[in-house]
Chain A
Amino acid sequence: MFIKQVSVFLENSAGRLQSALKVLKNENINIVSLSLADTNDYGMLRMIVSDAARAKDALKAAGLSAHLTDVLAIKLPHTVGSLEHVLSEVADAGINVEYMYALSTKDENACIVIKPENAEACAKALEDKKFDFVTNEEVENF
């Protein structure tokens, strides 16, 4: 139920983000979703890609600081309040969300990527409430 996210530590300097994206382009890896968190000094690029393992290796070979992180991608209906509903379940289980961002899919569902403080507990809590997760196989075929 977890999917692999590629996390890249980037300096806040011109061209660093582009150089990371270029590596993926050259490897013919598709970026399904992306978020960029930034501070004064550096940024954290988080991506769901078509082939996480190969993306990490290629980025590392290019001298970038890339790592794989387990995250949850939860399918949601396109209706008002659905995201709030997920988050209230997570909160009820007493779990903090470290960060989250949207994942675009081709089907009628919306999708949200979550990095919870306690991944196993969060997955279990949501599973109990019958939420659907995006799988690694699905990501590869997006």
Chain B
Amino acid sequence: MAIWNEAKECMSRDQMCVLQGERLKKQVKYVYHNVEYYRKKMQNVGLEPGDINGLEDLTKLPFTTKDDLRDTYPFGLFAAPQSEIVRIHASSGTTGKATVVGYTRRDIDIWAECVARALTQCGIGKNDIVQVAYGYGLFTGGLGAHYGVENVGATVVPMSTGNTKKLITMMNDFGATGIMCTPSYLLHIAETLYETGEINNIKLKAAVCGAEPWTEKMRQQIEEKLHVNCFDIYGLSEIMGPGVACDCIEHKGLHVQEDHFLPEIVAKETLQPVPDGELGELVFTTLTKEGIPLIRYRTKDLTSIDRTPCACGRTTARIARFKGRSDDMLVLRGVNVFPSQIEAALLEMDGILPHYMIIVDRVNNLDTIEVQVEVEERFFSDEIKELEKLTKRIEGVIKTAIGLAVKVKLVEPKTLERAEGKSVHVIDKRVFD
């Protein structure tokens, strides 16, 4: 398979380290002079840009977390003036306040470059027709993928989400050869294709999936069912969006676009770097970002790193399929949900928090969310009508809070688990290997 940018994707490790060191130095200087929040953060630990001379100085720098983004909402971490920002994306945060990111024209170009590299890695080129079935909008998935498909020269079909029937009709009629969407949605599409018998008509050859945790087994299932090559693409809006990393035909980890995003793996507890191959939290430092450059941003995703050359010919470091998260964030149908968002919604209803339990499962490849709520004295009615009304009301406030439909189930008082101290509020029955 072709390589989009051989000069960057196949450079020797030594060259890559030199390039990253130079870019890190520049990026730190840029951030220090353009973001007051970072300048103070560095001054607090007695750091000046001159103290960072290369990769060996990386660990001197303080971490950035989602809290920093929240504290500086909406534009406090932007390093470029509004006149240079050409696009905004946002994702939901723990307290309902969104995490806002901004891109300069150059940021958008680099993003499209990264996605083009990923797509080339997946065997997609100018002779392909690619349906993008990630959500278009504030979420980075749709537009991020879209620009990448255009950049690689393929024909993009901007499906967005929500209309499986139309997607399948167009897949057939256009002879689509590529698709980008969440893996669970793709399995759902596959099932529909089998039901209608259209599975024999499709010309799909590559599927590029991401935006939610999934398993190697699911990937193989997609390949078998749809007779395609299926790839795992990773990204997060804070760093850029989809395309920060993507796996190749070898399926032995996701190549990180290292000349733009510097990865580190640190121990969950000590936050000290761990040796290659060991599990830890993934941390990224942007190296070329202008809009919202982030220094040592803690992704909370748990993985390990492999810097040995890959059989595909690329030398960029590879991160392993994700092993979970170091916080309690749930990714449900591609949407990031913190249990605290659901708790806040329940609390806001009457000002008193009922006992509840969130039960997440995956049925027919789609995530299901059930919120069990105890019928306390104040909720009690002997009329089914009133209880149904209560159920609908709770479903409504949760949907408003997280943007996803949930099923609310009323349960008897004092039947939900109460743990000592921090109580358990989530049961995730999904299996991610």
| Chain A residues with a Cβ under 8 A of chain B | 5, 7, 9-11, 16, 37, 39, 41-42, 44, 46, 63-65, 67, 69, 98-99, 115
Contact = CB atoms under 8 A, between A and B. Distances in A.
7 contacts: A7-B382, A10-B412, A11-B415, A65-B375, A98-B383, A98-B385, A115-B382
A44 B375 contact: no
A41 B382 contact: no
Contact of B411 (A5, A42, A67, A69): A42
Contacts of A115: 382-383
A9 B412 contact: yes
Contacts of B387: 9, 39, 42, 44
B418 to A, nearest CB: 13
Contacts of B375: 9, 42, 65
B414 interface: yes
A99 B384 CA distance: 9
Interface residues of B, number: 15
Given A9-B375, A11-B411, A42-B411, 5 more contacts: A9-B410, A37-B384, A41-B409, A67-B380, A99-B383
Interface of B: 375, 380, 382-385, 387-388, 409-415
A112 B405 CA distance: 41
Which one of B385, B387, B412, B414 has the greatest number of beta carbons of chain A within 10 Å? B412
B409 A44 contact: no
Contact of A5 (B382, B385, B409): B382
B109 to A, nearest CB: 52
Contacts of A7: 382
Contacts of B383: 44, 98-99, 115
A42 B413 CA distance: 12
Nearest to B408: A41
A73 B382 CA distance: 17
Contacts of B413: 65
B384 A39 contact: yes
The A interface is mostly helix, strand or loop, or mixed, namely strand
A63 B412 CA distance: 9
A42 B412 CA distance: 9
A115 B382 CA distance: 10
A44 B390 CA distance: 15
Nearest to A43: B384
Contact of A65 (B380, B385, B388, B409): B380
B40 to A, nearest CB: 52
A67 B387 CA distance: 14
B412 A65 contact: yes
A37 B385 CA distance: 11
A44 B411 contact: no
A16 B413 CA distance: 13
Contacts of B385: 98
Contacts of A41: 409-411
B412 A69 contact: no
Residue from A9, A11, A42 with most neighbouring chain B CB atoms (10 Å): A9
B383 to A, nearest CB: 5
A119 B413 CA distance: 28
A50 to B, nearest CB: 19
Contacts of A10: 412
A46 B414 CA distance: 21
Nearest to A39: B384
B414 A63 contact: yes
Contacts of B388: 39
A37 B388 CA distance: 13
A52 to B, nearest CB: 13
Nearest to A71: B382
B359 to A, nearest CB: 13
Contacts of A16: 412
B378 to A, nearest CB: 12
B123 to A, nearest CB: 46
Nearest to A41: B409
B410 A44 contact: no
Contacts of A98: 383, 385
Q: Across the A-B interface, give the 5 residue pairs with the lowest CB-CB distance, nearest first.
A: A7-B382, A69-B382, A41-B409, A98-B383, A65-B413
Contacts of A5: 382
A39 to B, nearest CB: 6
